[in-house]
Amino acid sequence: MLADPGALDRPARGRLLAGAPIAADLRAEVRAAVEAFRGRHGYTPALAALVLGRSEPFARYLQQILRACASVGLEGREVHVEGRVSAARVRAELCRLNADPHVAGIIVQQPLPRGLSPRVVTETLDPAKDVDGLTPLNTGLVTLGYGGFAPATAEATLEILRRSGVSLEGLHAVIVGRSHVVGRPVAQLLLREHCTVTICHRRTRELVSHTRQADVLVVAAGAPGLVTGEMLKPGAVVVDVGTSVIDGRIVGDVESESAARVAAAITPVPGGVGPVTNAVLMQHVIRAAEVQARASRRAATP
């Protein structure tokens, strides 16, 4: 399962799968790609973030994204819709960004303000610029294995596993959570890697009977402490996607102390999936820029 199989027999604590070094490698790759893109096309592609009213958590996330853009040489652009956030105004901003040739990728504040249907976004956002995999076209392409953009968090989960030397083929992967942004796309990506996949959710009976079978366990429930060490198969690799704030501290869904005594490897929270997600988003932006530049060159060729 792991590149170092002896790790499974050691009584020591599980290996920590820190996100920072993986994110740093990804950012270095993106930085080189952005530099090459600028040399070929003469402009810096932008990631636009559509901010809808005021949301403290999104504002914090946005600062991280803008820093990530700066660190890889991409332009990070904030676009604010102030006051009453109507469907018509969101559509109008998205259409404007869709049409801007320098904007390669667009992300939209999540969760959306109350009363705004997600369909306003999924039906307007150009799938070519949908770098966080929200649109039905990208969901379909990812499901069919035809490329497309998977949600960055889902892909970050896979990047962590791959770049930590976990050989996935044939493993039983269990995912706790079936959301469209994490659980389901992670399941698709793990299937593509030839895992046997089980998806659990709130109505799953005897969650522990499933988690104990997992060679790879991905927990994306938003339920702090949901998974404890005794719910794990010894030697499992655990990716804790959950992030909740308790008493001002960010915690995951896995009780890290007990889990680290049973697992072969586990991602920390914070410092695991989060940083890799931001780096994957940057990777998606430069990928989108390349595809769009090729398409506009083809369109301009008589």
What distance in Å separates the CA atoms of residue 78 and residue 10, rounded to the nearest whole number?
49
Tell me which amino acid residue 194 is.
Answer: H
Tell me which amino acid residue 290 is.
Answer: E
Q: How far is the CB of 152 from ligand NAP (least distance, A)?
A: 7
CB-based contact 281:159 (threshold 8 Å): no
Residue 107 binds to ligand NAP (criterion: CB under 6 A):
no
What distance in Å separates the CA atoms of residue 252 and residue 243, rounded to the nearest whole number?
5
Phi, psi at 168, each rounded to 5°: -85, -25
Among 181, 217, 236, 282, binds ligand NAP (CB under 6 A): 181
Among 24, 207, 250, 293, binds ligand NAP (CB under 6 A): 207
At a CB cut-off of 8 Å and minimum separation 6, what does 43 contact?
102
Q: Is 7 exposed, middle or buried (0-12, 13-18, 19+ CB in 10 A)?
A: middle
Residue 109 binds to ligand NAP (criterion: CB under 6 A):
no
Residue 185 binds to ligand NAP (criterion: CB under 6 A):
no
Residue 274 binds to ligand NAP (criterion: CB under 6 A):
yes
Q: How far is the CB of 270 from ligand NAP (least distance, A)?
A: 8
Binding mask 134-153 for ligand NAP (x = CB under 6 A): -------------------x
Among 15, 27, 129, 178, binds ligand NAP (CB under 6 A): 178
The residues pairing with 106 across neighbouring beta strands, listed in sequence order, are 48
Residue 14 binds to ligand NAP (criterion: CB under 6 A):
no
Among 72, 134, 182, 266, binds ligand NAP (CB under 6 A): 182
Q: How far is the CB of 204 from ligand NAP (least distance, A)?
A: 6
Q: Among 36-44, 120-128, 195-203, 228-236, which window interacts with ligand NAP (CB under 6 A)?
A: 195-203
Among 73, 183, 185, 268, binds ligand NAP (CB under 6 A): 183
| Residue 168 host element (H or E) | none
Q: Among 22-30, 138-146, 175-183, 210-218, which window interacts with ligand NAP (CB under 6 A)?
A: 175-183
Q: Helix, strand, or coil here: 55? A: coil
At a CB cut-off of 8 Å and minimum separation 6, what does 54 contact?
none
Alpha helix segments (H runs only) across the chain: 19-41, 56-72, 87-99, 118-122, 136-144, 152-163, 183-192, 207-211, 256-260, 273-300
Specify the residue, 127 or 242, whose C-beta has the smaller distance to ligand NAP: 242
Q: Among 6-14, 37-45, 270-278, 293-301, which window interacts with ligand NAP (CB under 6 A)?
A: 270-278
Interface with ligand NAP (CB under 6 A): 153, 176-179, 181-183, 200-204, 207, 220-223, 226, 241-244, 273-274, 277
